Structures are given as structure tokens and as C-alpha cells.
Copies of this chain bind each other. A is one copy, B any other.
Amino acid sequence: MPDPETIQRLAELIVRFGANVQPGQIVTINSEPGKEDLARAVADVAYQEQARFVDLDVFDVYLKRSRVLHADEATLDFVPPWYGERMRALGEHRCARITLSGVAAPHALEGLDPARVGRDILPATREGMELLNARSTNWTVSPSPTKEWAALVHPRADGEQALELLWEQIARVCRLDEADPVAAWTSRLDALEASAAKLSERRFAAIHFEGPGTDLTVGLLPGGNWRGARFSTVDGIVHVPNIPTEEVFTTPDPTRVDGVVRATKPLFVAGALIERLRLRFEGGRAVQIDADQGADIARALAARDEGAGRLGEVALVDREGRIGPLDTVFYDTLLDENAASHIALGQGFGFLIDDADRDAINTSQIHVDFMIGGDDVAVTGMTTAGETVPLLRQGTWQI
């Protein structure tokens, strides 16, 4: 049994600090079967904060399994129109949005045809990405442990023990073990924002990653900014999109990415595991994709649309975070991406770009992060004048 007090502390952090729910707001909770305890605690705190309504949306990946197994090929990417309409309404009504991450059903998509799996990107939607870029909602993503997820992360522990261990780790990385989690987060977020400000000031032309299997140059857009930690909506509501978060990131030039890169952690995407992913980029596009496991799934994702084989994000993570030291693969992007520097295939972030350059960002229906950083991966900034500036060495900031 998870400790009710830990669940309550996480719910309070999510609602009051992460999403920063305002009185009178409609609050959506994206959840999955098995996450009822945290979803209910989140809803309770939201109503205590005088939410106008809490709108629960439960996604069950086992339904996707049946769809991929049985549905007509031509219908696999169909999404009912009310999914997108709801997303647009969430923006119009200036809602707060809370997503509970974590792998609820690790084996639900096992043994399926990867090409068919790749056709269905739900629960992600194009309108969800547009909503994010419009900055009309205050939102956060935070992990919700389940038995199944715990068994995936800690296969050698028995069921209850694995779940307890996962909850302990989640409490640690969410800084719930601090007397004042909000104060601890405020201090860390200030540091992340200081790093982002320094990177933005330098206006680097490109970032270079070099390590085992990796020699990759990622071009940046002239009008691009680095961000981290706190976001603000168009109405000025400050929120923390990821709890935990340890990254600073920007949206790159989708036409100027060249070289090879090797993922430093397994990637769990579309319900399937991709291990030792390797990509070669030319002129911004991934022209070769290999992996020890799940290469087909990675290729299907990158072929989803014109922008799916190009980058929408580059992010740097230092050693000061709490996720890296756990040396645990969580199979959950929220946690794993904050353990290491990473890049993402697919949709870029328009809000990171000065208006003049906004059309230059990558567009796609997907946004899939994968980890490429680590202590043995050197990260270097390249100026427009051709100088190189060390950024991360052994995971420590050099600027």
C-alpha cells in the first residue's frame, strides 16, 4: 500500500505548485487505470482550491491493443472530432491541466505490428500540441506509480516491495522528502532558469554532442531562446510543466542537424520498448534509424509525417538533479529525460522562438524525446563566429 500521506503531499505539490490551479478554473486530469488513488487526491485538492470543475479523462492502452489487432487499416489514425474540439475548448476556457505519467500497462502493446501501432498516436493529439504552444492553459505532468509500472522498473523485487520502492524514488525525485518541497523546488528552478538565461544570451549557432556512438551537431535558430522550469500562460499564471524537472531546453533548426547519435537510455514509446536507438541525420532529417530492439517502431514513428523525422527539441541536463543518481531506468520520458540531456523528434515549441522565426520550427503530430546525454557525452556550444564553448563536461556546467 502506498503511504496515504505521500500521495497527499504529491497531490498538493501537483495542484498548488505544478499546475498552480486558480479559483474558478476547470481542471482536467489525464489518468490511466491503476492511478485512481492519486487522481482522486489531486481532484480533492483542486476542489479545495475552488476549482470550478474537475474533468477526468482516463486512457486505457488495452483498448489501443484491440484496435491495432482488429481494426481496418484505413481507420487506425482516426480520432473522433470531439477530441480536438475539447482541446480547443480547454484553451478558450483557460483551463488547468494535470497529467499523471508512469507506465500503467507495460505489456499492453507487446507482439503487435509496429507499423500499425505507429499509426495511432493517442492519447497525444495534434490539437493538444497546439494547445501547449498557445500557452492558454497552466499545466503539469507528474508521475503516478502503479503496481505494473513498479514491476517493470524493479523486476527483482516482489509486487508490494517494488511498488514501495518506486513510491520512495518518486517521493525523492519530487522532493517530497524535504520539509518544504515548494522551497526546495523554488531553489532548484531558480538555478535551472539561470542556466537557461546564460544559454539564451550566448545565441549559439549550434550545439555539439560527442561521446560513444555520438557525434551530432544540432543547429539552433537565430531567434531561439532556452527555457527551463517555470512557464507562464498568456494570462500570467506561472506553472511548472514537469514535476520533477531538471532540464533546460530549446527548439532547434529542423534543417540543420547532422551526424550520428546513440540513445543512452532505453525509450518506452507507443507502449513499446526501443533499446540502443541509433540515428544518422543529414540536413536535419533522420536518414537512418537502427536499434537493438524496436527499430521498426522508431522508423514507423519517424515516418508518421513530414516533420516526424526532424528535431523539435534539444535539452541539456546537469548532474545536480535527483534522477540521474538513482541509476534507474523508469521507462517513462518524464523521469528518464530529466536524468540526461536529450533531443526530441517531432513538433517544436513555438513559444521559445521570437516571432520572426516562428515559422522555422519543426511541425509534426508527434513529439518523442530520447536521451543522448551522460557523463561521457561532452556538450559544446558553437558560436556564429565558429568558436567552441564547453557547456557540459562530466555532466557539470562549464558556463
Using A33-B33, A52-B75, A71-B51 as known contacts, say yes or no to A66 and B44 having CB atoms under 8 A apart: yes
Cβ-defined contact, B89 with A63, below 8 A: no
Using A36-B33, A36-B60 as known contacts, say yes or no to A53 and B70 having CB atoms under 8 A apart: no
**Which of B47, B53, B56, B71 contacts A69, CB < 8 Å?**
B47
Cβ-defined contact, A70 with B82, below 8 A: no
Cβ-defined contact, A48 with B33, below 8 A: no
Report if A39 contacts B (CB, 8 A): yes
Cβ-defined contact, B47 with A80, below 8 A: no
Cβ-defined contact, A66 with B47, below 8 A: yes
Report if A202 contacts B (CB, 8 A): no
Report if A40 contacts B (CB, 8 A): yes
Q: Chain B's nearest CB lies how many Å from the CB of A227?
A: 30
Cβ-defined contact, A54 with B47, below 8 A: no
The count of identical subunits is 2
Report if A198 contacts B (CB, 8 A): no
Report if A85 contacts B (CB, 8 A): yes
Cβ-defined contact, B56 with A80, below 8 A: no
Report if A359 contacts B (CB, 8 A): no
**Which of B44, B47, B53, B70 contacts A47, CB < 8 Å?**
B70
Q: Chain B's nearest CB lies how many Å from the CB of A25?
A: 11
**Which of B24, B60, B93 contacts A80, CB < 8 Å?**
B93
List the B side residues contacting A85 at CB < 8 Å.
82, 85, 89
Report if A79 contacts B (CB, 8 A): yes
- Which residue of B has the minimal Cβ distance to A68? B47
Q: Chain B's nearest CB lies how many Å from the CB of A175?
A: 25
**Which of B26, B62, B79 contacts A53, CB < 8 Å?**
B79
Report if A58 contacts B (CB, 8 A): yes
- Which residue of B has the minimal Cβ distance to A51? B71
Return the CB mask of A184-222 against B: 1 if under 8 Å, else 0. Answer: 000000000000000000000000000000000000000
Cβ-defined contact, A66 with B52, below 8 A: no
Cβ-defined contact, A47 with B71, below 8 A: yes
Residues of A at the B interface (CB closer than 8 Å) are 24, 26, 33, 36, 39-40, 43-44, 46-48, 50-56, 58-60, 62-63, 66-67, 69-72, 75, 78-82, 85-86, 89, 93
Q: Give 7 nearest A-B pairs by CB, closest first.
A: A58-B58, A47-B70, A44-B66, A43-B63, A47-B66, A82-B86, A40-B62
